[in-house]
Chains A and B, each alone.
Chain A
Amino acid sequence: MSREVAWRVFAAEFNSSSLEMKGEGEKTPSYLISPLGAKMNRIFVVGVLTDNENVGNENEPVWRAKITDPTGTFYMTAGQYQPEAAMVLAKLQPPCFVAVVGKFRTYSPEEGKLYVSIRPERVGKVEASVRDGWVLETCKATVDRISAMEEAMKLGEPTVEKLIQIGSSRPLAEGVVHSMQHYSPEDLSRYKGMVSDALKFLLPEYQTGPDLPVEHDIPEEIEDDDEPDDVDKEALVLSMIEGLDSGKGAAWDEVVQKARSQGIEREELDAIANSLLDKGFVYEPVLGRMRKI
């Protein structure tokens, strides 16, 4: 059995994934299919460790960490079955650059909802240059997936063989076909914008200041919204989270509903929530719940 390749995906693409293909039997792996057709079992991620907390106890530690990239935040949990990763996390003080190789894991609080996080196999502290290299590599990989999606859309009813014929690798061709069946037609320009922004993050001419925390700006740029409007909406969402919190944090589904009733759609809400997380106004005590700090 050959080892599963480690996909290079940005947080925004990873977190938008809602199609899980469970392997049948013991030896067949499960896959998470992203909207761009990444057929992931294992992923490779480099970003900034922004939060790192032992939510277990001294004897049975469970480390929960957040890693941001230029597009969003990866959530990661390492417990007793990830002893090496947990040991490394125990020694890391955020913020620092970390690299993670791990498998996806999903949490589905109800039918039709899927939250994804990383179960790390290996975690290590790295230098900024490794992160920059990863951003570039992930931009290239994302562009390849966008191209494959575009080709597939042109075909109308794409088959795996046809996509391979055009030049996709087999795993990507399979992922693209699954993606097209599951996701409503994806707005690829949103992902192109995401890649552009991630590239600009690497290029000094696009950076306005040396300490600019670019992560904060990206979601807003993707949404193409006006700055002041956004700040108001962030305040609004923050008050929603506070209002819906009965002690264990506000359930994300309820936040989504409430936001919708106030005219904030899901994508925009994701961006606002990411921004709030990044700015440290809220945190996630458990996956799927948010609390005001």
Chain B
Amino acid sequence: MDREELAPHADELARVLGEKVDKNKIMDDLDKYVNLYRVSLEWAKRDILKKMGGDPDSVGDGSERKNVAELTGAEQSVDLLVKVLTVNPKTIEVGGVSKNIVYGYVADESGRVPYTIWETESVQMKEGSTVIVRNAYTKEYKGNPQLNLGNRASVEESDEVLDVADMPSGGSAEVKIAELTDGMNYVIVSGKIGRPEQREITVSGEKKMIVTGILSDETGSAEFTVWKEMELNDGDEVRVIGAYVKSWRGMPKLNLGDKAEVQVLERGTLGDISGSVPKPRTLEDVELAGGAMDVVVHGTLVDVREGSGLVMRCPDCRRVLQKSTCRVHGKVKGIDDLRIKAILDDGTSSMSVIFGKELTEQMLNISIDEAVKMTTEERNPDAVKEMAEEKLFARPLEVRGMVRSDDYGPMLIAREARFMEIDVREEGAKLLTELEGFN
């Protein structure tokens, strides 16, 4: 970049700094930064301003400089100075092609925000580093802003020290249990304690007391572990501050380390959660979370898989027998069992689902004895599977259960299931009214 091209930028800096600085000095500096040190023009301008006592934010490219607390979720282009709290690489499926993304949290003194890097080739961040993020955009998810670094975004390391370790707890947004995802840090979440249990464990030769249990809110439940001694009672309503999330088989679990704080709330603060059913979530949402301890989904059963129906299990290890033979225990006298392996699809995503004996009996309206009898009489080992296809295929179901992920993707292990009865007239009339407004 020659001096002629730099001239208007030097003029701009001179204008911002007032007439207190020699324009030739600015020009020399700018030339040095850009041509000798190869600093980007914009960055050079900021540095010069700062060095000469001006406000670096007064020059820019149209991208707005904000702090985290100011994010609204509607920024088209925003710059932030933040500390990188967590960096989690993840591979996602985009139209059948796997794509690497990175997600985590960044924070400044005003608060923290989840981020996603969509172009991992061009944009990288190191955990614990302080960076200037440029040309990011935000969107809103469940009322909270999320920071996205797309192909326009860039990241530069900064020497500035941000005091985010002692970040005020009010500065970061509280999340719901259904929003917990692997790798989250500094989590604030409220819920009701279930089945608390004091346990003694041995950590590097020393005995230590921990507490495990389940935390539930209206969106779901998650197992938690408090890695120190703490008095918690069944039914306590608490606000947890500073927990972190680690997933086990896709199911997010809360961990309360030394820095975590638990505030016991007055009972009733959270309303009646006990015995309540979590709000239905989309399969896409559950799949992105990787798993859930307690979830309700609505979907259509679009396939009944091989291995469904009447099966024989090994009396020793419960493995399903192939031709009366257990993979481990050889030829054994098997025990009859019923199960359905199927695919549920709600139009946003699809997921494997397993119904055990009780649910299979309930949905097919057949007892296991009747199933055995039918299979024998029809001399058809697939008689129950065919019945399941006939009675379940294409039917909309509400299923509650646990979702775990493994190499084959997420799987829903059903605990409750029912056929959904949809009031098409009421819902249809509602949609028609909306649509006529929309015309």
Contacts and interface: CB of A to CB of B under 8 A. Distances in A.
A203 interface: yes
Given A122-B302, A133-B396, A137-B347, A28 B438 contact: no
A202 B424 contact: yes
A228 B409 CA distance: 57
A262 interface: no
A20 B45 CA distance: 49
A205 to B, nearest CB: 8
Given A136-B428, A192-B439, A203-B425, A3 B348 contact: no
Nearest to A150: B438
Contacts of B428: 136, 139, 199, 202-203
Contacts of B97: 28
A67 B54 CA distance: 72
Nearest to A130: B394
A136 B424 contact: yes
A8 B436 contact: no
Contact of A136 (B148, B390, B393, B431): B431
Nearest to A159: B150
Interface stretch (A163-171, A210-218, A271-279): A163-171
B408 to A, nearest CB: 10
Interface string B415-439: 0000011101101110110111011
Contact of B302 (A101, A165, A169, A196): A101
Given A122-B393, A130-B394, A135 B347 contact: no
A129 B439 CA distance: 28
B185 interface: no
A5 interface: yes
Nearest to B346: A5
A2 interface: yes
Contacts of A41: 96
Contacts of A134: 394
Contacts of B435: 143, 192, 195-196, 199
A6 interface: yes
B438 A1 contact: no
Nearest to B396: A133
Contacts of B137: 161, 165
Nearest to A99: B394
B302 A44 contact: yes
A13 interface: no
A125 B93 CA distance: 33
B94 interface: yes
Interface residues of B, number: 43
B427 A136 contact: yes
B346 to A, nearest CB: 8
B383 to A, nearest CB: 15
B303 A122 contact: yes
Given A5-B347, A203-B428, A124 B389 contact: yes
Interface in A199-241: 199-200, 202-204
Contacts of A204: 425
Contact of A101 (B303, B422, B431, B439): B303
B348 A169 contact: yes
Given A124-B394, A137-B347, A196 B424 contact: no
A48 to B, nearest CB: 14
Interface string B348-370: 11100000000000000000000
Contacts of B139: 164-166
Contact of A4 (B96, B393, B427): B96
A36 to B, nearest CB: 14
Interface string A273-290: 000000000000000000
A204 B429 CA distance: 10
Interface range for A: 35 or more
B96 A199 contact: no
A170 B300 contact: no
Interface string A160-194: 01001110011100100000000000000100100
Contacts of A4: 96, 350
B432 A199 contact: yes
A6 B23 CA distance: 65
Contacts of A90: none
A139 B434 CA distance: 12
A218 B158 CA distance: 63
A55 interface: no
A243 interface: no
Interface in B11-58: none
A189 B424 CA distance: 23
A46 interface: yes
Contact of B93 (A2, A8, A31): A2
A130 B419 CA distance: 11
Interface in B278-318: 284, 287, 300, 302-303
Contacts of A200: 432
Contact of A169 (B284, B393, B434): B284
A140 interface: yes
Interface in A123-165: 124-126, 129-130, 132-137, 139-141, 143, 161, 164-165
A121 interface: yes
B340 interface: no
28 contacts: A2-B349, A3-B409, A5-B348, A6-B300, A28-B96, A29-B96, A101-B302, A101-B394, A121-B303, A122-B302, A122-B303, A124-B394, A137-B396, A141-B347, A143-B434, A143-B435, A161-B148, A161-B150, A164-B139, A170-B94, A174-B94, A192-B439, A196-B432, A199-B428, A199-B431, A199-B432, A202-B424, A203-B428
Interface of A: 1-8, 23, 28-29, 31, 39, 41, 44, 46, 99, 101, 121-122, 124-126, 129-130, 132-137, 139-141, 143, 161, 164-166, 169-171, 174, 189, 192, 195-196, 199-200, 202-204
Given A124-B389, A124-B390, 5 more contacts: A6-B300, A44-B302, A44-B394, A136-B427, A171-B95
Interface of B: 93-97, 118, 137, 139, 148, 150, 284, 287, 300, 302-303, 343, 345, 347-350, 389-390, 393-396, 409, 420-422, 424-425, 427-429, 431-432, 434-436, 438-439
